[in-house]
């Protein structure tokens, strides 16, 4: 038996999220179908994390065990020859049997993209068509209050034992009419990035002051009633171990 790691990209608009669901087309489900066919037996895969329906990835990481003898290059080619075309395996590599794609993660990078120019129907599945101007300088000021190790309960959906994690950097840049917000952190919980973006948008709209983001961290509650940003603007960019 050999354990493999694979870096995977996918178009989230074509799937009901990453996690396998009964009677729904998912990224994990399609990967397991392809890998099971190659391994000639039912084969499960584990991902570095779950992405929601509509969320895209340039580099999701998975791991799985194979009973057959195959090189990483041949395995990559074999998976891509049969996998659903909304998914592409960037590479495969052999790893130690104690490697785990989820539990060994050191940091993740997500990117959120929104269109602050005119509505564009051609990008609607891949970028949030926000279509209004924003005060980017105020957003950058607000982002500074989010950096560091905190309880992010005000920005996480669902109940957990704790909401603690670290945000290492938040970069905000404008390229033509597209505003790109990049988050690098230790880990991210359910809807966390999309909630952070929703709060930053409120700052950019000048409906709340930048320091309001810190107030919500301290009070651990969405006291300013920001809205969750839509899934289609979110991309999983990188994972480091």
Do the domain assignments include residue 101?
no
Q: What is the pTM of this model?
A: 0.95
Where would I find the H helices in 50-175?
Answer: 72-82, 136-144
Residue 106's CB is within 10 A of a number of other CB atoms, namely 9
pLDDT for position 201:
98
Do the domain assignments include residue 100?
no
- Give residue-wise pLDDT tens across range 145-157: 999 999 999 999 9
Catalytic residue among 52, 65, 124, 238: 52
Furthest C-alpha separation in the chain: 59
Same domain, yes or no: 215 and 153: yes
When the pLDDT of each residue in the chain is averaged and rounded to a whole number, the result is 97
Q: State the pLDDT confidence band at 77, using cuts at 50, 70 and 90.
A: very high
pLDDT for position 234:
98
Q: State the pLDDT confidence band at 123, using cuts at 50, 70 and 90.
A: very high
Do the domain assignments include residue 44?
yes
- Give residue-wise pLDDT tens across range 13-43: 999 999 999 999 999 999 999 999 999 999 9
Active site residue 124: no
Same domain, yes or no: 79 and 139: no
Q: How many structural domains is the chain composed of?
A: 2
Do the domain assignments include residue 141?
yes
Range of the domain at 134: 107-240
């Amino acid at each position: 038996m050999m354990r493999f790691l694979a870096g995977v990209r996918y178009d989230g608009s074509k799937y009901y999220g990453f996690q396998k669901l009964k009677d729904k087309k998912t990224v994990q489900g399609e990967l397991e179908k392809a890998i099971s066919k190659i391994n000639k037996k039912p084969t499960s895969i584990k991902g570095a994390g779950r992405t929601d329906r509509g969320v895209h990835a340039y580099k999701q990481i998975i791991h799985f065990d194979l009973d057959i003898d195959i090189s990483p290059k041949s395995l990559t080619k074999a998976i891509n020859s049969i996998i659903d075309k909304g998914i592409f395996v960037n590479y495969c590599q052999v790893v130690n049997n104690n490697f785990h794609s989820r539990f060994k993660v050191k940091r993740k990078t997500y990117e959120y993209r929104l269109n602050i120019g005119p509505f564009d129907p051609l990008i609607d599945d891949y970028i949030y068509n926000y279509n209004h101007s924003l005060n980017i300088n105020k957003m950058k000021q607000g982002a500074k209050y989010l950096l560091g190790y905190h309880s992010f309960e005000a920005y996480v959906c669902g109940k957990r034992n704790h909401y603690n994690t670290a945000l290492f950097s938040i970069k905000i840049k404008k390229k033509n009419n597209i505003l790109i917000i990049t988050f690098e952190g230790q880990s991210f919980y359910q809807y966390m990035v999309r909630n952070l973006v929703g709060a930053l948008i409120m700052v950019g709209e000048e409906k709340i002051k930048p320091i309001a983001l810190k107030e919500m961290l301290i009070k651990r509650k969405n006291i300013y009633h920001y809205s969750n940003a839509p899934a289609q603007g979110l991309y999983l960019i990188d994972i480091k171990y």
